[in-house]
Amino acid sequence: MILEALYDLPAALCAALLIGVTIGASLLVLLAAHRLRRSHNDVAGFLIAIVGVIYAVLLGFIAVAVWQDYNAADAIVQHEASTAGDIYLDAVNMKANMGDELRKLVREYLDAVIDEEFPAMRTGGWSPRVGEVLNRMHGAAFAYRYRGPVFSDVLAHVNSLADQRRDRLINAKSGLQPVAWFVLLAGSGLTVVFCALFGFPDLRLHAIMTSLVAASIALVLFLIVSFDYPFRGAVSISPAAFEQVREAVEHREAMLSSHGAASPSGDGPAAQQAPAAAGR
């Protein structure tokens, strides 16, 4: 598939390829229409204005839509990473050292998401290990026998983490429908054809103007391709938010170990003295 090949290319090469192909196609259309052109510029100008406005509105609308979807996917990643940090903080404050398993699972979850799931999403996949760790998190949460506010908070955060991961995977596979791509490409072709049919005395200058129009269209198409699947291609969402939380969790673990409390209780001195590194 063409999109699959584009996502495997660096951003600069992908943009250059789209621009080059679009300009080349527009020049071929211009040369083919050269003999058909006449000096009906009044009519051609009126028609190209209508077609250009309609296509520009459509192109801008789709570009804004994929940009918003990209930002929404990025927000989901931020919230998911923050929720993982919240679960770790809750685990630190569990009584009777019952949060040890949950703390371990949070670290395992962060490692699996960063090292396995994000690389898999770049090719449209996902990591079964992350789902298995989530299931074990639910088990560890339900094993907590002190059914109070901490239990409710932990369970709510684990459920929220599962929901946010599900939303992330849905966004990773959600892109423009084929009919949308058909309309985009057909509109691009019609716009270039009208540019080629516009009467102009100097063929070289006409070719330059048509090429500039084609390059403008190609740049917007490159933007749409780049943001259509937010976790794929050179312009993709990175696991930086998870890496920051993992770093905070590792720092917290080191501080707890330095206080001689690798498995602190919720009212122990280490839990009180260690700062909340894994921020919300």
Task: Answer yes or no: is 275 within a domain.
Answer: no
Residue among 172, 201, 190, 241 nearest 48 (CA): 190
What is the pLDDT of the chain when averaged over all its residues? 84
In a domain, 174, yes or no: yes
Alpha-carbon distance of 23 to 16, in angstroms, equals: 10
* The token pair that represents 187 in the structure block: 């509109």
Q: How confident is the model at residue 268 (pLDDT cuts 50, 70, 90)?
A: very low
**Domain contains 34:** yes
Q: Indicate if the pLDDT at residue 141 is higher than 80.
A: yes
CA 100, CA 94: separation in Å to the nearest integer?
Answer: 9
Q: What is the pLDDT of residues 34-56, one digit of tens each?
A: 766 555 556 666 777 777 788 88
Determine the Cα–Cα distance for residues 71 and 30; give it in Å rounded to an integer. 39
Q: What's the DSSP call for residue 117?
A: I
Q: Is residue 4 part of a domain?
A: no
Three-state DSSP at 148 gives: coil
- Binned at pLDDT 50, 70 and 90, residue 149 comes out as confident
Residue 143 has a pLDDT of: 84
- What 149-156 contacts at long range (C-beta under 8 Å, 24+ apart), as own/partner pairs, is 150/90, 150/93, 150/94, 150/95, 150/266, 153/90, 154/87, 154/90, 154/91, 154/94, 154/102
Both tokens of 227, joined, read 């943001």
Q: What is the pLDDT of residues 57-84, one digit of tens each?
A: 888 899 999 999 999 999 999 999 999 9
Q: What is the pLDDT of residue 45?
A: 67
Q: Is the pLDDT of residue 196 over 70?
A: yes
pLDDT of residue 262: 39
Q: Is the pLDDT of residue 130 over 60?
A: yes
Write down the pLDDT at residue 114: 96
Domain enclosing residue 203, as ranges: 15-258
Tokens of 106: 């949070």
Q: How many degrees, rounded to 5, is the angle at CA 92 between CA 86 and CA 93?
A: 95
Q: Are 183 and 65 in contact, with CB atoms under 8 Å apart? A: no
Residue 7 lies in a domain: no
pLDDT over 70 percentage in the chain: 86
Question: CA–CA separation, 88 vs 81, rounded Å?
Answer: 11
Q: Average pLDDT in the 203-224 region?
A: 90
The number of distinct structural domains making up the chain is 1
In a domain, 274, yes or no: no
CA atoms within 13 A on the CB side of 144: 30
Tell whether 98 is covered by a domain: yes
**Is 73 a member of any domain?**
yes
Which pLDDT score, from 0 to 100, does residue 85 have? Answer: 94
Angle at 263 between CA 259 and CA 267, to 5 degrees: 80
